[in-house]
Each structure stands twice: as structure tokens, then as C-alpha cells.
Structure 1
Amino acid sequence: MPMRLTTCLAIAGAFACASAGATAHAADALPVTAALQDKVVEWRRDLHQHPELGNHEVRTAQVVADHLRALGMEPRTGIAVTGVTAVLKGGKPGPRIALRADMDALPVTEQTGLPFASTVRSEYRGQPVGVMHACGHDMHVAILMGVAEALASMRDELPGEVMFVFQPAEEGPPVPGEVAGAKRMLDEGVFDDFKPDAVLGLHVWSRLNAGQVGVRAGPFMASADEWTLEITGKQTHGSQPWAGVDPITVAAQVLLGAQSIIARQVDITAHPVVLTAGQINSGLRFNIIPDTATMVGTLRTFDMDVRQDVIDRFRSTAEHFAAASGATATLNVDMNAPVTRNEPALTERLRPSLVRAVGEGNVVEVPRYTIAEDFSEFANVAPGFYFFVGTTPAGTDPLTAPINHSPQYAPDEAALDVGLRALLQATLDFLQGPAS
């Protein structure tokens, strides 16, 4: 019997049982996901071998659009350069829900040794780079393709509508200062004609074992800002620093002074904050004090008011240190993502869905992480529910495993089935409505 027909019968039967029962819970996801496991693995490996950087996900978008079209949907392509969306209309009235997966890879040269490892080379911000799905977005796309197939197979019994959102450039814009990813999709009207009642997403995560999912209500991933600070001094010979204004010394003073903002001016017991410089560029010769020094870094916070306060303090600190030496300081801040926050009521409603999918003992409360995700842009438009799917093999300490973004990141493919079951179960339960 063809897989799609088997899937349809299994899940339609499960819905019939749910309707006849005493509760309004949706069907169990397990019967349909079992039939899709091999296909999801195959899709993931294909995507892993053909990674594409943000706003260049041309092949990935084509794979996704062809799949959605084969399922009887009419995908919209080209939104935010390479994004793809499609709406599945169920045969019964119900709510609207959006499901999101990010598609882009990273400028990382793979070192996993997997038989399907990436050998792709490209260019990133003017530099030749290897390209790898070092963050697991290949798994996200494959999982959402599987969820789309599962839901399409029983559309006649499905209440409500589902929008599938395949997003480019989650890892940030390929050009500094450019709008990309979720925000660009929203700016280009991704939800103009489809107002979701909730938006769901997931991320594979090395800090959990395969088989586990992690969730937290409220703020749990930080906002991410990319900042650039330019110090302008006055060039002079290195043997006569008093004849000019040394921007390198000022930059060092600003960097050390900025740490006092975190250590002495922010209540970090209530508001964790990270202010990090990742680059300092200045000068060309050992004996010439240059005109300028440029620092680039990131700011991470869990509260948008605290974020603005730290930015204001950072700018003031830089300007005053510079002025004391006769230099000037200019700070520019570009937001990559707001705080990722799970809407508490939605989290309380859908956490049991994760338990149904993977078992109570495998659903863990995760701490706040200073990593960031632009899923938060969608979750600021509609109530959001976002969870982690563990990828470190069972029996291995997650703290010792290569973390996401590592060239050695090799997630356990058992996470594909876990993510598929969890996301599908949460979707079905939301569409079916709260348990009576």
C-alpha cells in the first residue's frame, strides 16, 4: 500500500477515535510518523550534502516548493529572497497555526567525516569559506517537510489551517546592516493574508540527549545585537604618540570600561547580560599610530528595556573615554533578533503534547540561554511556542559533545523522529482545541 495512503488511513482512524472519546484531544502522532521516518532521514542527508548560506538557499527552496506542490499545496516562493510558504486548509473549521523551519547553513568547513558530509565551498563577506549545516537547519527543514506530508495526508479530517514557513537567513544577514530572515519575511507580508493564532518552531540542540526535548515558558533565549564601535583619533608616528591621538589605546579603555557596565551598573541577578567584542581592527604597521580603530561585537539580553539601557550606557561610556583623549566614538547597533519568549498560556497548553510525543521523563525544563533565534520575530506577532530537540547520542554527556556551529557537529538522526513526533503532536493538539 502506498505510504501516503497508509498514513492517511492511520491518522484518519486516530481522529475518528478521538472524536468518539470523552475528550477533545487530537490523534496520536506516532502512527503517521513511523511511516515517514525513512523519508525524513533521506531528505535531511540530501540537504546536508547541499548546504547554502543565508539568502542563497536556492536549491533548498526548490526542494521544499516541489515537495509542497506534490502534496497538493500552492507554495509561494521568493519571499525574503528565497523563503517559501504554503497554506494547508483542513476540511473542518478551526484555528490557524504557522509552523516555521529555517533553511540556511553556516560558513563552516565540515570535519565530521560523515559519508554525506558537505564539501561545498562558497564566499561569505568577501572571504572564501566552506559551507556546512553546522546548526542543524537541514534537520529542521526535513522535519517540517515530514509534518507537512503528515497533515496533508489527512486534510479532510483536519480542523483549521496550517501555514508552513520555510525561512532563509536565520543566522543573520549575509551583508552587515541588511534586513534578512524572519523580519524580512514579515516586512514582505508573510502574515498579511494569514493571521496565525499561534506560531510553532523547534531547534535541534547538542546540550540535550537524543530522545529529549526541552522547553521553558517566558523569555528563554536572548536578544542578539551586532554592534560596531569606531574610534577616530589622529595618526602619528609610533615614536611620538603625544603628537596624535591613539585610537587603539582608547579602544582598549572603552572595552575594559564596558565590562564595568555589566559588573557594576546592571542587576545581573535579575537581568543576565553579555557584552562581548569579537573583533578589533586597527593599523597596518608596527611604528604608525593609525587614525581609527574599529571594534565589532555582540550584546545579549533577556529584557528589551535592559537592552536599550545597556546600549545607552555603552554609547555614553565610549563617547566619554574618547572625549577624555581627544578622540571621537561612534556606536552603531543592528538587531539580529529580539528576545525569544514562549507565551506562558500556550506553553502550559502544549507542554502535554510534548509529553504525549516523547514521554514525561524526556521533557525537560531548560535554563535561559544567551544564544538567540529570530523565530522571536514571528512570536512577537502571534503567541509563540518553541522547543529544543536533543541531538547528542544517548549515553554521551552533552557537555562533552561538539556544540551547534562546531565543524564537528554531527547530530544523532534519532532526533529527526523525535522532532517530527513532537511538532506534529503539538500541531494536532492545538488545531483540535483545548481538552474538555
Structure 2
Amino acid sequence: MKPFQLSCVFTSLLLCSPISFADWINTAVEKNEAQTIQLRHHIHQHPELGNMEFQTSKLVQQQLKSYGIEVKTGFAKTGVIGVLKGKKSGPTMALRADMDALPIEEKTQLAFASKTKAIYQGKEVPVMHACGHDAHTAMLLGAAKVLAENRDKLAGTVMFIFQPAEEGGADVDNFTQGAEIGSRKMITDGALKNPKPEVIFGLHVMAGMPSNNLFYKEGVMLNSADHLRIQVNGKQVHGSMPWDGRDPIYAASQMINNLQSLISRRSNLTQGMGVISIGSFQAGTTGNVIPEQVNMVGTIRSNNEDIRQNLLKNIPIMLEHNALANDVQAKVEIAAYAPVTSNNPTLTRLMQPTLKQVAGEDKLHVLAHNASASEDFSYYGQLMPSLFVFLGATPPSQKMDQAAPNHNPYFSVDDATLKTGVELHIRFIQDYPKFANQIQSQSTASK
């Protein structure tokens, strides 16, 4: 919403102001836009991998303290919580940003492009903010600054959650130690206990969507994600005499095919969808030897919890029986990453005018279906009503289908979109208290 003139009516009781009370948000966001962009450039140029965001965490703490916001640490290794109490009574609300980067070499040629290298899983790798978490951190800091400067207008308490390792940890086995990083670790370390928020909001910049445009939907917003690791052990033999061995490659190839039948024949696809993909297949060293072992790694996705649980239950059973039929052994491991990310329907509907006010009617879009990727923001949504929104990151002058996607060496975020993210955070906090009782009553009744 842009500043607008009010028709002033002078009476003995009232003298109208030429600018509406709510427009302080626009003025404050524009005033701080340059600093938000500067912060984003600095974070982008100095990316840090998951669980290793020490300097980013230090920067966040310094900024929050400079705004007069209470800072709490000791969560998920590098996580930071900022707590801001408004001058008016009201609910406790949370805003979340992730801070970690990815093991990708940047090729954008930006003036502030990353040249950083770091250790990932024991190996030195290039590091890049290829998913926009630099923008997320900068936007939340921008919102924190504006809200702190205007705490007299704030009803309730705001928690600013700066979370590490949304993309996984650089220093842990993400398969076996997934619960020790990211949002799950923030939660188990007590980040949401004192104070305890009753609602949480998040956003994510997306390439291929025009800058300053917002995208949302009720219900499922992102798929679940679970990791799959399979080891097939047979008996090594010369390739010319397969009958004297037990071929794990042949058995593994059957397993890959049969896994798909769990989707097409064993899942109720009227409820949603599911995907099982094997992305890594490692076996053997030469063409004339049937190896002893095959190792496969894959991912399991769904937008429906019943379908997800059906797959998690039946994948090990199918693979073990497949192994038995081929006289080999199969070791099957499944590790959870994230449940379905789902927007609370009542919260989404009541906050729709807020989204419209920020983006304008022509830049607000309802998604026809959920996105296929996943987010550990979903764990917060299991504890309280939540709303997760996409923010376009590609300049409108660029063809959307030609924009480098998230997790790509050429991925970039248009600085012009940051002000929309900052404003959205602020208006979430300003508008939610008006609907808090209604949303909490609905949430309690649905449990």
C-alpha cells in the first residue's frame, strides 16, 4: 500500500493527519531499504555452510543488540533468537529466517559474488548462497529494526528466529543426525519455550517468479522429504559366470523398478502424490566382474501424510522381499528430513488482505498446487498455526522461464524485492493480533 492523502475534516474534536497511521510502515521500510540491501550483499559475499554459520550468527546478534532487541543464543549451535516486547499487550508471534548457504561454486559474476571455500563432509568445497538465505536473513533484520524503532505501535511480543542448517549440516552425517540440526534442533534446545509463540510466519525467495510478487495457498505448500539409503550385498563373481555368484546389480535394478509400484499400485493417489527417486547408484569397478555390493541413495516426497506414512512403512518390506527373491541381502535405512509444509487455512484466509496490501492485487497470486521441494519450517507448523509464502526474486524485465533456479550456480536475487519481504514481515506482526483469538480458537477446536 502506498501513502495516500486523507480528506481532512476539521471539527472541534478531531484534526485529521495528511498521512494515515498505517503508512509509517512504508516510510520506515523505504528509509531502511539501503541498509537491508547492504546487509544482504555482505552476507552473500561471506556465506557459511549449515551448522557453521558462526560469523553470520555474530552479525545477526550484533545487529539485533544495536536495535535494542533482547538476544538469546545456545540453540542449534549457531541459532539466534531476538525478542522484542511491544508497548501494547498482545500475543507472542514468531518470524523465521534461515542463515545457511550451499556447497556450490558461484558463477553469477556479481560484484559481491562469493569466493569463499569451506569444509563440507570433510572436503574443501566452494560455498554460495544459492537459495536466498542471505536475503531471508537481511529481510528479517530489516523488519526487526523497523519494529524495534516503532515498538510503541506494537501489540504483543515478536520472536525473530534465525535458524541454521535448513539445507543440512556441513559437519554431521545428515542421514543419521538429521534431528541434531536445523529447526528440529532449535525446538529441542528450547528456542520456542520462553517466550512461547502462538503463531509463526515465514517466506522464501523464489527464482522464476517476478520480484515483489507474492505466491501462496491454503493447506499444503511444500512436499515432505525423507532420505532413503539402500545397501545390497551379493556374492562377487566373474562376469562370465553369474550362476556362481549372486548379482546385487540385477537385484538392485529390480528394486528401483519395484519401488515405483508403491506409488502406482499401493498409494491412494486420490489423496495426493508421491515420488521415490534414486539419485545415486554406486557399484563395481570393471565391466567383467559382478561386484559384491551396490549402494543406492534416494529421496521420498509426498504432499499427503497418509501417502508418506504408507511409503515409509512399505519400502523396507518390499526391498527386503526383493532381496530374498534374488538370494541377496538388503539393508534399508530411511531418515526423516521434513514433513509436509502446510499453511493453516484459517490463518491464511484471514491474512490474505495483508498479503494483498503488501503486494497489491495484481502481484498477489494463489498457487494452483504446492511446490515439490521441502522445508524444515514444517516442524514449526506442527506446533502452532503457520503461514509460509513465496516471494518472487527475478526482475520482471527478465524472462521467468530463463531465470537460473534456486540451488543453481547462477541463481540470484533481485535487490528490489527485499523491501516487499521486509514489509510483509512487519504487517504480519501488525495485523495478526486483530485475528489472534479467532485463529487460536479454531486451532484448539481442530486438535
Query: TM-score, length-normalised on structure 1?
Result: 0.91
How many Å apart are 1:370 and its aligned residue?
A: 1.2
| Range moving further from structure 2, 224-233 or 106-115 | 224-233
Are residues 219 and 99 of structure 1, via their aligned partners in 2, closer, same or farther at CA, if it must alter by over 3 Å? Answer: same
* Aligned equivalent of 2:124: 128
Aligned length: 415
| 1:218 matches 2:214 | no
**Residue 161 (structure 1) aligned with residue 157 (structure 2):** yes
Counterpart amino acid of residue 286 in structure 2: R
1:319–1:112 CA distance, 2 compared to 1 (3 A): same
Paired residues of 2:274 and 2:302 also in contact (CA < 8 A): yes
Report the counterpart of residue 197 of structure 2 in structure 1: 196
Contact conserved, 1:135 with 1:405, CA < 8 A, in 2?
yes
Pairing 1:353–2:354 present: yes
Q: Partner letter of residue 352 of structure 1?
A: P
Q: Distance in 2 between matches of 1:371 and 1:343?
A: 19
Is 1:152 equivalent to 2:148 in the alignment? yes
Assess if the C-alpha contact under 8 Å between 1:172 and 1:336 holds in 2.
Answer: no
Q: Which ranges in structure 2 are unaligned for 5 or more consecutive residues?
A: 1-15, 439-447
Q: After TM superposition, give the deviation of residue 424 of structure 1 in Å.
A: 1.3
Q: What letter is aligned with 1:183?
A: R
Give the aligned partner of residue 65 of structure 1. 61
Contact 1:378 1:384 in 2 (8 A): yes
Letter in 2 for 1:412: D
Q: Deviations over 1:255-302 (max 9, x none)?
A: 011112222322335311111111011223333322221110111111
Q: Give the AA of the match of 2:127.
A: V
SS of residue paired to 2:80: strand
Q: What letter is aligned with 1:251?
A: A
Looking at structure 2, the residues matched to 304 and 435 of structure 1 have their Cα atoms a distance apart, in angstroms, of 28
Partner letter of residue 268 of structure 1?
Answer: L
Aligned identity (percent) is: 38
Note if contact 1:26-1:428 (Cα within 8 Å) is conserved in structure 2.
Answer: no
CA contact (8 A) 1:30 1:357 kept: no
Q: Greater CA deviation, 218-227 or 424-433?
A: 424-433
Q: Secondary structure at the match of 2:330?
A: strand
Residue type matched to 1:369 in 2? A
42-51 vs 417-426, greater mean Cα deviation = 417-426
Alpha-carbon contact 2:354-2:428 (below 8 Å) kept: yes
**Matched residue, 2:210:** 209
Between 1:135-144 and 1:386-395, the stretch displaced more is 386-395
Are residues 289 and 155 of structure 1, via their aligned partners in 2, closer, same or farther at CA, if it must alter by over 3 Å?
A: same
- Unpaired runs of 5+ residues, structure 1, are 1-19
- Which region of structure 1 is more displaced relative to structure 2, 154-163 or 237-246? 237-246
SS in 2 for 1:113: coil
Q: CA RMSD in A?
A: 2.0
TM-score by length of 2: 0.89
2:418 partner letter:
L
- In 2: Cα distance, 1:261 partner to 1:220 partner: 23
Q: What amino acid is the match of 2:198?
A: D
Taking the aligned partners of 1:434 and 1:188, their CA distance within structure 2 comes to: 26
Letter in 2 for 1:190: A
User: How much does 1:205 deviate?
Assistant: 0.5
Match of 2:73 in 1: 77
Distance 2:234 2:351 in 1: 56
Partner of 1:332: 333
State yes or no: 1:416 paired with 2:412.
Answer: no
Counterpart in the other structure of 1:428: 430
Corresponding residue number in structure 2 for 1:52: 48
Answer yes or no: is the 8 Å Cα contact 1:27–1:428 preserved in 2. no
TM-aligned CA deviation for residue 362 of structure 1: 0.7
Rounded to whole Å, the distance in 1 between the matches of 2:132 and 2:270 is 32
The answer to whether the Cα contact below 8 Å between 2:221 and 2:388 also exists between their aligned partners in 1 is: no
Does the aligned pair in 1 maintain the 2:268–2:307 contact within 8 Å?
A: no
Whether the 8 Å CA contact 1:213–1:354 is kept in 2: the answer is yes
Is 1:173 the counterpart of 2:169? The answer is yes
**Per-residue CA shift, 1:360-401, capped at 9, x if unaligned?**
111101221110010111111111011000011103332221
- How far is the alpha carbon of 1:189 from its aligned partner? 0.7
Q: Is the 8 A contact 1:104 1:168 kept in 2?
A: yes
Cα distance in 1 for residues equivalent to 2:204 and 2:334: 26
Q: Are the counterparts in 2 of residues 87 and 161 from structure 1 also a CA contact under 8 Å?
A: yes
Matches within 5 A, 1:19-418: 29-174=25-170, 175-176=173-174, 177-178=176-177, 179=179, 180-366=181-367, 367-418=369-420
One-letter amino acid matched to 2:246? V
Shift of residue 172, structure 1, vs aligned partner: 2.0
CA deviations over 1:304-353 (Å, ceiling 9, x no partner): 22111012222222112111110122211111111100000100111111
Distance 1:400 1:235 in 2: 47
Structure 1 residue 146: Cα displacement: 0.4
One-letter identity of the residue aligned with 2:336: M
Q: Does structure 2 retain, via aligned residues, the 8 Å contact 1:96–1:431? A: no
Rounded to whole Å, the distance in 2 between the matches of 1:61 and 1:306 is 38
Tell me, in whole angstroms, the C-alpha distance in 2 between the residues paired with 1:58 and 1:256: 44
